[in-house]
Structure 1
Amino acid sequence: MNPFSRNKKNSGGGGSITPARKSPPFERGGCCRGFPDCLVIGSIISYGKTRTNQPPSTSKFDLKVEELEKEVQKQRELKTVYKARLARAQEYMKYYLQVAKENGFLQLILPATGSSIKHEDVVDNHDQNHNIIVNRQTETVIYRDLESVIRLAKANGWHIDPSEIELHSKVARGSTSDIYKGTWRGIEVAVKWINSDFFYSNEELEDGIGFFAQEVEILSRQRHQNVLQLMGACLDPPNHAWIVTDFLPMALQEWLHGLDDDRSRKSKKKERTSPLPPLHERLVKALEISKAMQYLHGQKPVKVIHRDLKPSNIFLDHGMHVRVADFGHARFLGDNEKALTGETGTYVYMAPEVIKCEPYDEKCDVYSFGIILNELVTGQHPYIETDYSPSKIALQVSEGTLRPTLPENEDQELIELIRMSWDNASTKRPAFSTITITLTTIIEKQMVTK
């Protein structure tokens, strides 16, 4: 009812005008329109009828307060993580500056003006044949031009023109790319389309092209039954930066946890929608992952470290065999060389030294595998027994005070392998060659006891 409307009341042929009764704020809505839980501040005015002063429902306020409290707690945890990280960075900086001073090259790393990269900051990579340089300050692999990769692709028959590919439905979305199901020369393929924004979000377009070219070249080198096979690539960034591979419809994550509908994917507890696969099959998957990683780490003259090993980046082919995929975070690493890029990967599977921005090597992949192996054996998501945020998990993992719950009543050799793989000290983690042998022995022993 409009409080400013007029009502005509006829009496004895005459007319009188009386104002319409005004609705109080909590009846007509006012600035609280659409918010049934809105609190009315001040005294309640009588308008000719009795109104019971009932307390408004606070359910929405309670939920909002709970959300804000969680956000505040999350920010506190992040503050703690970043504060600890800053302290470590300062310690490393002091140490490196002291070493530089003692060896007489302090002036080379502390230029008098500006912070631009000097010629000395850029040195040739171990693999000279692939025309790449490595920026030691940013650890960015930069291709002098994309022509060398294009020539490599054309010479080996995996250069693809975008017009040859027919894109169908989008099947997955990532932070920097989308995955499409497509057809190429009559073959069903997966097309990883790197978003054009990725190239412009880097400091320079050339850096984005360098990252893309590195992923393509790493994948082009792989020849292993448990590593995703490159079929070709469209090398025309930023609009046609496409990586074409076999189409593998199922990830290890779906196979293990049975998450095949949106409701289950979004559920906090991630309810299972299908039975847990037999332990023997799960251990075989772990063995195949280990073989793939042993192959990657054993490459010469430079090994490949994945840096983002997790169930959603591991796929199953039509024969239900493992294919390690997604080399967007992978990089080449020479013997006795350490990487310095921190926070590469996913917190839940990230090694402590990576979280702490410390130098790391291929053993960061072994840590990730340890978390995956435990997940395969237990059938449970890591840290599902807690309600910790990713930042809190990262903080406690880096301090060595948190790991996922170990399986019960399982082979002690298997449990010990998990413990060794996720040891806080990277030097104590076994190589994948050792893991492969150990898992093979465990699987054979289980088959004998059946």
Structure 2
Amino acid sequence: MEKSSDGFVRADQIDLKSLDEQLEKHLSRAWTMEKNKKKQPDSDSTTAEAATRQRQEWEIDPSKLIIKGVLARGTFGTVHRGVYDGQDVAVKLLDWGEEGHRTDAEIASLRAAFTQEVAVWHKLDHPNVTKFIGATMGASGLNIQTENGQIGMPSNICCVVVEYLPGGALKSYLIKNRRRKLAFKVVVQMALDLSRGLSYLHSQKIVHRDVKTENMLLDKTRTVKIADFGVARVEASNPSDMTGETGTLGYMAPEVLNGNPYNRKCDVYSFGICLWEMYCCDMPYPDLSFSEVTSAVVRQNLRPEIPRCCPGSLANVMKRCWDASPDKRPEMDEVVSMLEAIDTSKGGGMIPLDQNQGCLCFRKYRGP
């Protein structure tokens, strides 16, 4: 990676989420290829090269990893429960060895870019960022435990290992509390967790680019931790180098929806939507299509409806974060300060909509 004069690091324009998508489609094919390889004599030169290659600081020892059942599977890859060196972990599996679809040079380029990204994530250390434990690329000896014993993984499989968080996704927690809502102090504390984690990432020149409650995990004490760096990248010194509709509908900033250049302020916008979601325990724009949301957010300044029962101090944070102009949005460290200044002793939590206490019912459209 090249460094510019102002200290920002430019990462290769690689979208790891697209790499994750290869797993489900090609895993069975890769297993078949591996079985065929085992019928052929091993290459002494390959073995010698693997033995002499110097291990990277972020590389795990495959012999210490036990991969168990699937936690989640989908378009972004397959995540397993596991144990590494006695610690509960989550393991994401990646497979780039597409038969007939990628050249050796292409695979080498993908691995090199992935190595650069992993080297960045490995150095992150913050209580509100999911701990990255390590990764391994193309290691032999990976096995998945099943009821019928262990299944060997092909040597072209790569895996990423992070700490296991038993509380699950913040999105799921909010859905469970959709009717009764959360206490105001709980909302502010969760918002502080998320804002502190994002402030740390931005201080490391990292833009997450897909901030949403689904990508935030809870530990056993209900502490929020940022997860899923599938589309995150090191922030470019030139905003025009970061373009494209990257993110999730409903959380994407206007400049991202428009395909315009953007910077870390796109995360600030997404945080504002998450803050509304944590307070209301509801979904933003549940009845609108992608084209409708894009048009309304960009051209009509559509934002989620803020209930009248929401304290002005919290509503102000939401409005400032989702301002249409990135330059007018606060930095995340300022958001932390604003949240820390909120007095939660007097309450102010969301009033459930089935209770007749004067709370404004949601309308379909409303600006900030």
- Aligned-residue CA RMSD (Å): 3.3
**Secondary structure in 1 aligned to 2:341?**
helix
Which is greater in Rg? 1
Structure with greater contact order relative to length (CA < 8 Å, sep ≥ 6):
2
The 3 A distance-change label for structure 1 pair 210 and 350 is: farther
The residue aligned with 1:192 is 92
1:305 aligns with 2:223: no
- For residue 170 of structure 2, the aligned residue among 252, 257, 262 is 252
Deviation at 1:330, TM superposition (A): 0.9
Aligned residue runs from structure 1 range 172-191, under 5 A: 172-191=72-91
Match of residue 72 from structure 1: none
Name whichever structure is richer in helix by fraction: 1
* 1:376 and 2:278 are equivalent in the alignment: yes
The answer to whether structure 1 residue 332 and structure 2 residue 249 are counterparts is: no
Q: Given that residues 177 and 195 in structure 1 are in contact (C-alpha distance below 8 angstroms), is that contact kept between their aligned partners in structure 2?
A: no
Query: 1:228–1:323: 8 Å Cα contact kept in structure 2?
Result: yes
Q: How far off its partner does 1:236 sit?
A: 2.2
Aligned to 1:209: 111
Confirm or deny that 1:429 pairs with 2:297: no
Cα drift, residue 276 of structure 1:
2.8
Deviation string 1:132-177 (CA, Å, 9 cap, x unpaired) is 9756xxx3499xxxx9xx96x63x4x42233432211111124232
**Between Structure 1 and Structure 2, how many residues are aligned?**
295
Quick check: 1:340–1:357 contact (8 Å CA) kept in 2? no
* DSSP-derived class of the 1:341 partner: coil
**What corresponds to 1:239 in structure 2?**
156
* Distance change >3 Å, CA 226–CA 397, structure 1 → 2: same
- Indicate how the Cα distance of structure 1 residues 197 and 418 shifts in structure 2: closer, same or farther if over 3 A, else same: farther
Q: Distance in 1 between matches of 2:208 and 2:122?
A: 14
Question: Tell me, what secondary structure is at the counterpart of 1:226?
Answer: coil
Distance in 2, Cα, partners of 1:446 & 1:363:
27
Residue 333 (structure 1) shift: 1.6
Q: Which amino acid aligns with 2:158?
A: A
Which consecutive aligned stretches of 4+ in structure 1 deviate over 6 angstroms post-superposition?
Answer: none
CA distance in 1, matches of 2:284, 2:102: 32
Deviations 1:12-49 (A, max 9, x none): xxxxxxxxxxxxxxxxxxxxxxxxxxxxxxxxxxxxxx
Q: What corresponds to 2:297 in structure 1?
A: 397
* Greater CA drift, 173-182 or 374-383: 173-182
Q: Distance in 1 between matches of 2:95 and 2:296?
A: 34
Asked whether 1:124 is paired with 2:2, we answer yes
Matching of residue 166 in structure 1 with residue 66 in structure 2: yes
TM-score by length of 2: 0.71
Between 245-254 and 400-409, the greater mean CA deviation after superposition: 400-409
Per-residue Cα deviation, 1:375-410 (whole angstroms, up to 9, x for no partner): 1111111113xx211232123222243211112222
Within-5 A mapping of 1:400-415: 400-415=300-315
Supply the AA of the counterpart residue of 1:383. Answer: Y
Structure 1 position 338, deviation (Å) = 4.4
For residue 201 of structure 1, report the CA deviation from its aligned partner: 7.2
Determine helix, strand or coil for the equivalent of 1:349: coil
Separation (CA, whole Å) in 2 of partners of 1:174 and 1:394? 25
TM normalised by structure 1 equals 0.59
Letter aligned with residue 185 of structure 1: D
| Local SS of the residue matching 1:347 | coil
* 1:215–1:330 Cα contact (<8 Å) kept: no
The residue identity in structure 2 corresponding to 1:284 is Q
- 205, 219, 222: which one aligns with 1:317: 219
After TM superposition, list the pairs within 5 Å mapping 1:53-68 onto structure 2. none
Secondary structure in structure 2 of the residue aligned to 1:353: helix
Asked if structure 1 preserves the Cα contact closer than 8 Å seen for 2:15 and 2:230, the reply is: no
